[in-house]
Amino acid sequence: MLKKAIAIFIALTIIILPNAAPVHAQDDNPPVYVVQPGDTLNVIADKFGVSVADIIDANQISNPNLISAGTQLVIPGLEGVHGVLTTSTVQLGDNLTSLSLQYGLSTDTLIRLNRVTSPSEIYAGSSLILPEQSDQQASSLAAVSTQSGGTMLEDAVLANMNPWALAQTNDLQNNWDVLTGENLYYHPTSASQQTSLVSAQIKQISISPLPIVQGDTVEIKLTTAQPTDLSGTLDDHDLYFFQNGDNEYVALQGIAVDAQTGLAGLQISGKGQDGNTFDIDQQLLLEAGSFVRYTGSLEVDPSTIDPAVTVPEYDEVLAAVTPATPDKLWDGQWTQPLLATAPYVLQDCMMSPFGAWRTYNNTISSYHTGIDLAVCTDSADGKTIHAAAAGTVVFIGPLTVRGNATIIDHGWGVYSAYYHQSEIDVKVGDHVTAGQAIGIMGATGRVTGPHLHFEVWVNQVTVQPWDWLDNTYP
């Protein structure tokens, strides 16, 4: 009888236990988000698609008002995600598959973590929430593009790897799962196997900055496996690639102040020495710049805003800055075009910034294509204008709007221009060095007072001059 009672108890226990409340093992490495300046619990909850109450409960928060930048918060409901979560910028060639392999997360987890509704939302320059990785955790990834009429075995040979390992890495069940031109990914075991994610013929490719911004200078760098002829476009501007080392190429492109925000198309085509070709067609995020919009109106000579004058003059300047000459004449960071000595700082002597929207005679409005600089020193040569970098003078002369102007070609489609001078001390064809005196500040052309208008052109587009004075390209 006792044995029968024990058997009944065990049977009842087996039946009852599955209906009991489940016991969750404590996660020793839950996903953690570091609060950023400006974050609130509502913002964070919306970012991760959870409720504020769940965040408060998971972190045992007694006073939500005490949450500040730097606070680490456990984010509940993200099964399969561990470590510190951070906002990362999508790089060229990244997609859900490559990110999944690099971060060891399923594509479903990536989609849920970032509330992605379509793979087309993943483009270079966009932001994704991803786990931080240490150097030891980071998983390098390379790609091989499937060939027309080829098989997965042939693709594996191109990648110098086991075809079954290639199939397993890419979760392929059959050879016919692969489409022509589709990238297959693998983890390289040596430097010789390393390629970019956009083409096996490109060892490395980078675009800076990402996202691209109105008024920026965009720098595209490629390292190829062999000498390669390159061409391309960015936001409908033809790109010019110049060699900057063994199988290393650079293209510089300006983004106009009034460029359409949203997605900008990038196309790059290449043909290697062996005759093999590749084509890249991607979308980059293009964001709005931050520019001043002046109220009121500047009163100037009416002849300087007459389209019959301004349009031909612009065309004349554009023609001067259009050739992308092959020799890079500048070296390192550019120098300031005007002398500034303590307690003065050249930025403090700026009269009007780049990109500022201005109105003239209550009639015509336009954005400022450079920076206006005033005298920035007590020194006697405070009005002396200096070449910002080494180059060749390609234009001098009086212009109605720009006054006495000097334009210098620095190579690779990069030019600097100096307007409103009272005196020009160089001539066309002169080679100038960085810091060389080239003229004197004045008040010629369309002005409201003496100053130097300094501008930088990159592949036929005016860009933020301070970027060239504060950074080194390439």
Which of 412, 409, 133 has the alpha carbon at shortest distance from 250? 412
CATH of domain 302-470: 2.70.70.10
Q: How does strand 437-441 pair with strand 403-411? A: unpaired
Question: What average pLDDT does range 274-302 have in this prediction?
Answer: 94
Residue 143 has pLDDT above 80, yes or no: no
CATH of domain 142-287: 2.60.40.10
Residue 324 has pLDDT above 90, yes or no: yes
Question: What average pLDDT does range 164-174 have in this prediction?
Answer: 72
pLDDT band at 171 (very low <50, low <70, confident <90, very high): confident
**Residue 48 and residue 32 in contact, taking contact as beta carbons nearer than 8 Å:** no
Which residue reads 């599955």 in tokens? 18
Structure confidence by residue, pLDDT tens digits, 342-391? 889 999 999 999 999 999 999 999 999 999 999 999 988 999 999 999 99
CA distances (Å), 346 to each of 229, 258, 376, 406, in order? 42, 26, 6, 21
pLDDT band at 23 (very low <50, low <70, confident <90, very high): very low
Residue 239 has pLDDT above 60, yes or no: yes
pLDDT at 21: 31
Domain spans in the chain, listed from the N-terminal domain onward: 32-131, 142-287, 302-470
In CATH, what is the architecture of 32-131? Roll (3.10)
Lowest mean pLDDT among 6-15, 366-375, 424-433: 6-15
- Map residue 347 onto helix, strand or coil: helix
